[in-house]
Structure 1
Amino acid sequence: MNTSSATPQRSARRITHLIYLLYSLTCYLLFLFTTLYLIGFLGKLLVPSHIDSGEQRPLFESILVDILLITLFGLQHSVMARKTFKARLARLVPAAIERATYVLCSSLMLSLLFYSWRPIAIPVWHVESTVAVALLSGLFWIGWGLVLLATFLISHFELFGLTQVIRAFQQVQVQPPRFITPSLYKIVRHPMYLGFLIAFWATPEMTVGHLVFALTSSVYIVIGASLEEKDLVGIFGREYLDYQQRVSMLLPFRKAAREAGNPKKPR
């Protein structure tokens, strides 16, 4: 056994894994920053430029630009998540940092949206009741809390690409994915998307710009969830098909209410 050649190889491997770890951690922190900025952007909180601030441009032009920005984000988010794209990306990017690269691209697309957003401050509704304002503001934060909780219920750090690098560093073999439905996932199949929907729509001051954001994002969420469901059926098969029959995709308890209204006839 040639230990003199093995030692440099191990050192090179450790350096490579350290670079991967730093890269993944940077991608994670960037995504965390852009997500926090998104909260401030929609909630008009502690950010230099929010969804209704800035120069007002022609209405039709602004609507087109804003829809295009959200569509570009949606395309990146969905296309990069498909198996065919991942297979092509694997030829260029090591498996350990594939997810982190996806997270990085998502952050860059969000940053582009913030930078290029065209505000349309025409009011759609303005709530003045103190109770209603408090309720809508509370729902806004509940939505974001639901998003965060949903990530931890599955695997927060794997979702954002850190676990993959740690596994590679420890040379741990990747196990086949297990189908689990912890807490919230027992009442809705996509609690994270539900949280986004609540956060996007819950505002005491809805403008045309915010409405464009909420509507376009909602359309993307429904399309994105449907594409994701096809992948999950491909991975888990009958197990996920049964899950689809039991649990609603986005609206909690909708299936239960529908079944209660249409009881099965005894055979």
Structure 2
Amino acid sequence: MSFLLDVLLIILLFTFFGFSHTFLASNKVKRLIAQRAGNLIAFYRLFYNISSLIIFMFVYFEAPKPDIIIYDLHYPYDIITFAFQIISLFGLLWAARSVDVTEFLGVAQIKRYLNKEYNAEELDEIQRFNTKGAYKYMRHPIYFFSILFLSLRPTMDLFYLVMLICIIIYFYVGSIFEEKKLVEKFGDEYIEYQKRVPRIIPIKLHKR
């Protein structure tokens, strides 16, 4: 019975992370900050990344870790699983090639601010509509390859499995909020992209 309470606490802690992460990423919060701070919002992205990392580490270390092994693959299946994990890592790197790392981290924003080139209407980042590379096959390839990389483990315990399920759900829910902002920014062009390209799994199952 105690492991059920452990699972519930893990879910609650991750929900706290997911809510805070999504709330701080909302355009409503960013616009409110931009109204009050002006171009100083250029520092918000870096703050957001650091605070998200701190909250996630808190969740990870404070969450109970029940000593229950779900599975433990043996040779050669452990080697095969690890090989696929490495392939998924290369896929993740392929998808990340289209991302401006300095913009993602928040460094580019600060540089523009220091050069007096920042526009507060950008909020905390310049949003780009990318349809090249991995984005030709799925709208959120980084999520797809991250899920593969995290899932392909030779050994799986209960704590990791619960966290993995929470992360997968969060990726899907997060993609919905992200796409609302992209539709707001790019309009019909992004809606047409949604119709052509599947969300996370590179298989066309439905219209959106």
Using structure 1 for the length normalisation, give the TM-score.
0.68
Distance 1:149 1:122, change over 3 A: same
> Could you tell me how far apart the structure 2 residues matched to 1:223 and 1:160 are?
22
Tell me the amino acid that sits aligned with residue 27 of structure 2: K
> Could you tell me how far apart the structure 2 residues matched to 1:234 and 1:210 are?
36
Tell me the amino acid that sits aligned with residue 159 of structure 2: G
Work out which of the residue numbers 211, 220, 224 in structure 1 matches 2:174.
Answer: 224
RMSD after superposition: 2.4
Tell me the amino acid that sits aligned with residue 164 of structure 1: Q
Cα pair 1:147 1:191 within 8 Å, conserved: yes
Counting matched residue pairs gives 200
Work out which of the residue numbers 65, 76, 79 in structure 2 matches 1:119.
Answer: 65
Tell me the amino acid that sits aligned with residue 124 of structure 1: I
Deviations 1:127-172 (A, max 9, x none): 1132x21222233334444444433312111011011011112223
**CA displacement at 1:250 relative to structure 2:** 0.6
- The answer to whether 1:157 aligns with 2:67 is no
Deviations 1:169-201 (A, max 9, x none): 222355874422220111111011112211221
Instruction: In structure 2, list runs of 5 or more residues that go unmatched.
Output: none
Structure 1 segment 191-230 matched on structure 2, within 5 A: 191-230=141-180
Using structure 2 for the length normalisation, give the TM-score.
0.86
**CA displacement at 1:242 relative to structure 2:** 0.8
Tell me the amino acid that sits aligned with residue 116 of structure 2: Q
> Could you tell me how far apart the structure 2 residues matched to 1:69 and 1:148 are?
29
Runs of 4 or more consecutive aligned structure 1 residues displaced over 6 Å after TM superposition: none
> Could you tell me how far apart the structure 2 residues matched to 1:200 and 1:169 are?
38
Work out which of the residue numbers 58, 75, 84 in structure 1 matches 2:19.
Answer: 75
Cα pair 1:189 1:247 within 8 Å, conserved: yes
> Could you tell me how far apart the structure 2 residues matched to 1:65 and 1:119 are?
10
1:206 aligns to what SS in structure 2? strand
Q: Which has the higher contact order (CA 8 A, sep 6+)?
A: 2
Matching residue of 1:106: 52
> Could you tell me how far apart the structure 2 residues matched to 1:210 and 1:65 are?
13
Matching residue of 1:247: 197
> Could you tell me how far apart the structure 1 residues matched to 2:158 and 2:127 are?
42
Distance 1:101 1:173, change over 3 A: closer
Deviations 1:27-68 (A, max 9, x none): xxxxxxxxxxxxxxxxxxxxxxxxxxxxxx931221122112
Cα pair 2:6 2:66 within 8 Å, conserved: yes
> Of the two, which has the highest radius of gyration?
1
- The answer to whether 1:181 aligns with 2:126 is no
**CA displacement at 1:219 relative to structure 2:** 1.1
